Amino acid sequence: MSEKSRSVVATRVLGAVTAVYSAAPVVSPRVLAKPTRLTTSRGAVSAPVRTLVAAIGARDVAIGTAMMLAKPGGSLRAAVMTRVAADLADAAVFGLTLPDHTARRKVAAFAPCWAALCGVSGLRR
C-alpha cells in the first residue's frame, strides 16, 4: 500500500471515529453537556443546551461521514479542512466562553489536538 493510500485510510478511520463519537451526543446530549459542565445543578440537560449539543453532534456526524466518503483529492481535502476548522472554532468558542474554567481547559486542549491529527492525515491528499 502506498503512503498516499495509507493516508487516505487514516483519514477514513478518523472520519468514522468522528461520526460515531459525534452521534452519541445527538442521542444523549448529556454525553457532551456533562464534561463541558453545561448541565443544571441536578445534572439535567436544559432544552436549549440539548438543542445546541444535538446540532454540534449532527454537524460532526456530517463532517465525519464526508471524511469517510469523499473521493481522494480536493473533496477529501475539503472535508478534512472542514473538520479542522470546526475543531478550532469549538476550541476558541468553548475554550473562551464555557462557564466552568476546568471545562474550558479540557476543550481548549482536546479540540486542537483532534484538529491537528485530522489535519496531518489530510496533508497527502
pLDDT tens, residue by residue, 92-120: 999 999 999 999 999 889 999 999 999 99
Helix intervals (H) in the chain: 3-27, 30-33, 47-69, 74-97, 101-121
pLDDT tens readout for residues 41-59? 999 999 999 999 999 999 9
* pLDDT of 125 higher than 60: no
Task: Quote the pLDDT of residue 59.
Answer: 98
Q: Which amino acid is at 35?
A: P
Task: Give the pLDDT score at 124.
Answer: 62
For 100, half-sphere exposure in the C-beta direction (CA atoms, 13 angstrom radius) is 13
Q: Compute, in degrees rounded to 10, the torsion defined by CA atoms 5, 21, 58, 35.
A: -140
Sign of CA dihedral 79, 85, 88, 89: negative
